[in-house]
Amino acid sequence: MRLAEKGWTKLKAGNLVVLAVFVVLIGAAVLAVGAELQQPPPVQLTSEQDHQRMLDLLHISSIRRGADGDPKSPHAANYDEAKANADAKLPDPLILNNGKPVTTAKMWWTKRRPEIVEYFDREVLGRAPVHTPKVTWEVTSTKKEMNGDVPVITKEIVGHVDNSAYPQITVNIPLTLTVPADAKGPVPVMTEFSFDPAFLAALAKRGVKLPPTPPGPTWQQQVLAKGWGYAVLIPTTYQADNGADLTEGIIGLVNKGQPRKLDDWGTLRAWAWGASRALDYFETDPSVNAKQVGIEGHSRYGKAALVTMAYDQRFAIAYISSSGESGAKLYRHNFGEPLENVAATNEYHWMAGNFLKYAGPLTANDLPVDAHELIALCAPRPVFIGGGATDGDGWADAKGMFLAATAAGPVYRLLGKKDLGTTEFPPIETPLIDGDIAFRQHSGGHTPAPNWPTFLTFASHYFKTPQ
Ligand code: GCU
């Protein structure tokens, strides 16, 4: 073959290779787009429709209505302790389902705890998926600033959730982390589930008056005064607070836009999942002592904080504020908000679908577990349970939360820790912070603010400021 011919053949072969690669790439792209198109968009249901769908799956035609906060309503919630069923028999956290007593820490960890977790998973809160998509954290800004008179470093961070399995839904987790600028080493961090400012503005617009914040340093400044850092997570950024959006957010992404099964996770567990992912990030950030990260939340986020602490044993401490029904309050203590309200269309999304059956035909007394066992799942780690006075925070039922805290005591003791130290409901504003379960009822209404100083004193028994 002549030289020129040889070159020509080479060139032709080269072109063919390029062409082949090109064809393969186009083919792959077409297939990928095709696959995405084949996946239906997220199902759109109203909360009412999705709620009804759950009832249909449960073969329940109707459930009992919730109670009204207004004492003049014919359906007023009970605020009479004498009628609250305070002596209800609670499921025993230290008796196995087969009736055998749990006598050792090993039996708790290997046998009883998994039984309780299974009940909460199946009947109450729903199961978090075994595999959730990977979250990649990106620090989008770092700035030096002042908080009061403390120089701090604040990072804005975003967790990008891998949505390649279902690109129709995008989920991001924004997180803010602030640490003292002159810290001598990695600091303990308190993480708060915070309300979206837009949600608070909407409440104010509806005329809902929130209790005034007490004068003095903010909770963040109180945390900084200890030499610790703080972080803020807004859970509604990755899972909206309603039933209509259960096919969106992280729950929708994992379910590829389809509605939930009866034992699928509800919003409380999804919110808790986000906090766990934030802790994954903290484990990679040298300014944070990831072994000393706490979680705090108020009201619905008090519930989420308790769920976070119960399910993720890496969290070192929790401040559970006014968490009420489906939080630290006993379901069986009929005072303030009853179970039926949480099963209604505006709150059921926090829970598993299976939970609805306890609002009809079953009742709170039929639940295989109660709130004391959710607190027990936090053992042996320290938990502070707070609430406000009945006048202002009766809906959250401080006494019901106290009773649950008391009933979690045997599990703490079995694990070598200290319980509340009393079974007598303390006078208002009396801190019980000498054990590993702590409690205080403040007089300031439905707000976490008045208990922050007491919580931080309690937390100082555990958190160490780098010297
Ligand atoms: C409602 C709801 C409570 C919840 C509270 C809140 O009152 O019934 O369960 O804790 O909202 O989150 O503010």
pLDDT tens-place values along the chain, 467 residues long:
454 455 545 556 556 655 665 555 665 555 555 555 579 999 999 999 999 999 999 999 999 999 999 889 999 999 999 999 988 999 999 999 999 999 999 999 999 999 999 999 999 999 999 999 999 999 999 999 999 999 999 999 999 999 999 999 999 999 999 999 999 999 999 999 999 999 999 999 999 888 888 899 999 999 999 999 999 999 999 999 999 999 999 999 999 999 999 999 999 999 999 999 999 999 999 999 999 999 999 999 999 999 999 999 999 999 999 999 999 999 999 999 999 999 999 999 999 999 999 999 999 999 999 999 999 999 999 999 999 999 999 999 999 999 999 999 999 999 999 999 999 999 999 999 999 999 999 999 999 999 999 999 999 999 999 99
295 vs 30: CA distance, rounded Å: 46
Please state the atom number of ligand 1 nearest to the C-alpha of residue 69. 7
* Peptide bond between residue 286 and the one before it cis (omega within 30 degrees of 0): no
Q: Is the CB of 299 under 6 A from ligand 1?
A: yes
156 vs 233: CA distance, rounded Å: 11
92 vs 89: CA distance, rounded Å: 9
58 vs 54: CA distance, rounded Å: 6
Tell me the three state secondary structure of residue 157.
strand
| Signed CA dihedral, 258, 264, 267, 270: sign only | negative
Other C-beta atoms closer than 10 Å to the C-beta of 391 total 9
Q: Which residue's structure tokens are 């009929």?
A: 334
> Contact, 321 vs 451, CB < 8 A?
yes
- Mutate which of 200, 268, 300 to test ligand 1's pocket (most atoms within 8 Å of Cβ)? 300
423 vs 165: CA distance, rounded Å: 51
Q: Which residue's structure tokens are 């502070």?
A: 384
Ligand 1 centroid to residue 47 C-alpha, Å: 17
> Contact, 235 vs 168, CB < 8 A?
no
Q: pTM here?
A: 0.93
430 vs 440: CA distance, rounded Å: 6
Quick one: pLDDT at residue 153?
98
Please state the atom number of ligand 1 nearest to the C-alpha of residue 322. 10
Query: CA angle at residue 443 from 437 to 447, to 5 degrees?
Result: 75
The β-bridge partners of 384 are 319, 438
334 vs 322: CA distance, rounded Å: 16
355 vs 336: CA distance, rounded Å: 19
Ligand 1 centroid to residue 184 C-alpha, Å: 40
Judging by beta carbons within 10 Å of its beta carbon (0-12, 13-18, 19+), is residue 297 exposed, middle or buried? Answer: buried
Other C-beta atoms closer than 10 Å to the C-beta of 50 total 23
Please state the atom number of ligand 1 nearest to the C-alpha of residue 446. 13
Quick one: pLDDT at residue 1?
44
160 vs 166: CA distance, rounded Å: 14
Tell me the three state secondary structure of residue 223.
helix
Q: Is the CB of 324 under 6 A from ligand 1?
A: yes
443 vs 428: CA distance, rounded Å: 7
Quick one: pLDDT at residue 3?
46
| Signed CA dihedral, 105, 107, 111, 116: sign only | negative
Ligand 1 centroid to residue 100 C-alpha, Å: 37
> Contact, 287 vs 229, CB < 8 A?
yes
Please state the atom number of ligand 1 nearest to the C-alpha of residue 302. 10
> Contact, 260 vs 251, CB < 8 A?
yes
Residue nearest to atom 13 of ligand 1 (CA): 299
Tell me the three state secondary structure of residue 356.
helix
Residue 126: closest CA among 278, 255, 296: 255
Q: Is the CB of 341 under 6 A from ligand 1?
A: yes
CATH hierarchy code of domain 81-459? 3.40.50.1820
Other C-beta atoms closer than 10 Å to the C-beta of 114 total 12
Quick one: pLDDT at residue 336?
98
Domain parsing of the chain, residue ranges: 1-38, 81-459
Tell me the three state secondary structure of residue 173.
strand
- Mutate which of 194, 210, 298, 395 to test ligand 1's pocket (most atoms within 8 Å of Cβ)? 395
| Signed CA dihedral, 297, 171, 230, 150: sign only | negative
282 vs 173: CA distance, rounded Å: 14
